[in-house]
Structure 1
Amino acid sequence: MHTLFFRALPAALALLLLLVGAAEYAEARPSRRTADIAYVPATDSAYHPERHRLDVYAPKAAGSRPYPVVVFIHGGNWNSGSKNLYSFIGRRLAKQGVVAVVINYRLAPQVQVPQMADDCARAVIWTATHIREYGGDPDRIFVMGHSAGAGLAALLTADNRLFQRRGLVPNPIRGAILNDPAGLDMYDYLQKKQYTGDAQYLTSFGRQPAGWREVSALYHITTTTPPYLLFVGGETYPSISSSSARFRQKLIELGHKPFYQVLPGKKHIPMVLQLYWARNVIYRELLQFVEAGSPAVRP
């Protein structure tokens, strides 16, 4: 994951996303946003008034049937990031016939990755329970994420225990869209510690190898795991490209046929910034994956 890169990521990405958000604000937006919904009750001992919030972006026009739903999980090295930076993704999805749920979750050092994954699972459970109120289809819930958020999305899709612990069986997720995912195999990554400063990740992942394995999606995928779309930047970081390739290979060995595309010339941050444009390849594949969108936004 390259320590120097991730130290610079939060500030650089935040600035770029704020600029994108300013441009988005100036456009006409045929979508309806409901902001800052609490997905954990305030009476819960774990409740955080900022991090346990989500925004719903729904198409303004009523559909002939409920819209598919995509829950977006932001990245940020497991210690930074905010749903507020990704309104452009919510708007773009809603414009293309998808109800988008963009979430916050607690971050390190206050919590570690198991608690982050539990937060994300609770956001998905809220979605399954309430999304009909916003025009969404609870039987067509997908998760999507970039970087650390994609690693969490992969884990939610593969590890059914995250939902079983909260009393929800079966797993409500129908598939995942992974955008330059980080953390697919932290068990391997943290055992090797190839890069200077990799010890910083022990704050988020703890010091026990068994714990690293527990939160690595690679070790939870089975023959019945829902399908994945994987997009990897052609110029992303070696740890992301190599773990994504291993993840794909494991899926193939289990009998899956994952969609996997390397986007030439793309570095890590541009992989998420490209989602500002409705016609980029990720949206084109996503819309077919969730069976959404109008012909006007397809090639």
Structure 2
Amino acid sequence: MSFFRLLLLPAALAVVLLVLAATEYAVARPSRRTTDVAYVPASDPDFDPARHVLDVYAPRQAAAAPRPVVIFIHGGSWNSGSKNLYSFIGRRLAKQGVVAVIINYRLAPTVQVPAMADDCARAAGWVVQHIADYGGDPNRLFVMGHSAGGGLAALLATDNRLFSRRGLARNPVRGAILDDPAGLDMYDYLQKMQYPGDEQYLVPFGREPAVWKDVSPMYHVGAGSPPFLLFVGGETYPSISSSSEKFRQRLRALGREPKFTVLPGKKHIPMVLQLYWQHNIIYRELLKLVGAPVAG
């Protein structure tokens, strides 16, 4: 893969996602949506009212016990994207008995990836404190992401420092669902610089190899890492395929073999668009991981 080609995708992806968002409400109503909840205090000097917000999708039907929670992190080459394009994921998860949280985070060039990861960790910290108010179980918190969001989700699951820096005694992430993830090993990718336009990624990642390594989940995986579901498109970019396989092998060596699924014929964008349909394989495996009943 040339990540540079991903820079051409967000506009086209946004158009498709807007169409899906315009129709999803009619077919997925069994949820309560709470929008634009700030997960960073407005008094914080770094507070961004457009990016430090999240939406919560909770099932309308009452449950005997708190429900599992999934935080979804959008992609967009680390410089674009919005939670507002992914309401269909929130509603599909809520329809299947999961409390879903779709988050925004700051983007390049305003900030670089370390700050993005910190934003995502702060959003997860908000969820731990407040999700019980929405029927969710803070002790069953999972992260999910596509493309750049998949890399950030993997980083949350593997880098405990993101939470200890924010005062959490332990990493609250109990598992991760990675959908065609980008950025699993940017240390390797940016050292090679083998594709035209790769210098574009020095904007979100900076020019320090130590930083590239520090924000690459590949180097934070450990024996205590939580379970992973890893889905890769059979026709995705070669770099995503190869880094995902390398990540799989790293987990395997540590005795943490992930559920690894290659979806034949799928390109990068269809890997997230398929989440519009409730019964696709990603949701089926996700429900098993989080302990929600599989919908019929």
Give TM-score, length-normalised by structure 2: 0.99
- Structure 2 partner of 1:8: 8
Instruction: Answer with 169-178 or 287-296: which moved more.
Output: 287-296
C-alpha displacement at 1:8, in angstroms?
1.6
- What is the deviation of 1:47? 0.3
**Corresponding residue for 1:237?**
237
The separation in 1 between residues aligned to 2:229 and 2:91, in whole angstroms, is 21
Using the TM superposition, give the Cα deviation of residue 5 of structure 1 relative to its aligned residue in structure 2, in angstroms: 2.2
Partner residue of 1:51?
51
CA-CA distance at 1:64 after TM superposition? 1.1
Residue segments in structure 2 that go unaligned for 5+ positions in a row: none
Aligned to 1:19: 19
Question: Which residue does 2:149 correspond to in 1?
Answer: 149
Determine helix, strand or coil for the equivalent of 1:199.
Answer: helix
Native 8 Å contact 2:4 2:200 kept in 1: no
Q: CA-atom RMSD, angstroms?
A: 0.8
Superposed, which structure 2 residues align to 1:77-226 within 5 Å?
77-226=77-226
C-alpha distance in structure 1 between counterparts of 2:82 and 2:3, whole Å: 20
- 1:110 & 1:73 partners in 2: Cα distance? 18
Amino acid at match of 2:158: A
CA distance in 2: counterparts of 1:127 and 1:111, whole angstroms: 23
In 1, the alpha carbon distance for the partners of 2:65 and 2:164 equals 29
1:157 & 1:3 partners in 2: Cα distance?
23
Shift of 1:28: 4.8
Distance apart, 1:124 and its partner CA = 0.2
Q: Deviations over 1:143-189 (max 9, x none)?
A: 00000000000000000000000010110000000000000000000
Contact 1:129–1:138 under 8 Å retained in 2: yes
Identity between Structure 1 and Structure 2 (%): 70
Which residue identity does 1:236 align to in structure 2? T
Contact 1:3 1:196 in 2 (8 A): no
- Structure 1: gaps (5+ residues): none
Deviating more after overlay: 283-292 vs 16-25? 16-25
Aligned-residue offset at 1:6: 1.3
- Following TM superposition, where does structure 1 have runs of at least 4 consecutive aligned residues deviating by more than 3 angstroms? none
The answer to whether the aligner puts 1:285 opposite 2:288 as a matched pair is no
Q: Please list the CA deviations of residues 116-149 of structure 1 after superposition, one character each: whole Å capped at 9, or x if unmatched.
A: 0000000000000000000000000000000000
CA distance in 2, matches of 1:62, 1:294: 17
Task: Specify the SS of the correspondent of 2:246.
Answer: helix
Amino acid at match of 2:92: R
Q: In structure 2, what is the Cα distance between the partners aligned to 1:4 and 1:247? A: 22
CA distance in 2, matches of 1:132, 1:184: 31
Deviation at 1:4, TM superposition (A): 4.8
Q: What is the distance in 1 between the residues matched to 2:107 and 2:168?
A: 24
Q: 1:79 to 1:295 in 2, by over 3 A?
A: closer
SS of equivalent to 2:89: helix
Distance 1:4 1:292 in 2: 38
Of residues 4-13 and 153-162 in structure 1, the stretch that sits farther from structure 2 once superposed is 4-13
* Aligned residues of 1:32 and 1:59 also touching (Cα < 8 A): yes
8 A contact 1:78–1:108 mirrored in 2: yes
State the alpha-carbon separation in 1 of the partners of residues 248 and 97 from structure 2: 28
Q: Secondary structure at the residue paired with 1:180? A: strand
Shift of 1:85: 0.1
* 8 Å Cα contact 2:90-2:102 kept in structure 1: yes
Change (3 A) 1:28 1:178: closer
What CA distance in whole angstroms lies between the structure 1 residues aligned with 2:4 and 2:193? 14
Residues 294 and 233 (structure 1 numbering): CA distance in 2 closer, same or farther, change over 3 Å? closer
> What's the counterpart of residue 37 of structure 2?
37
Q: Distance in 1 between matches of 2:248 and 2:169?
A: 26
Matched letter for residue 182 of structure 2: A
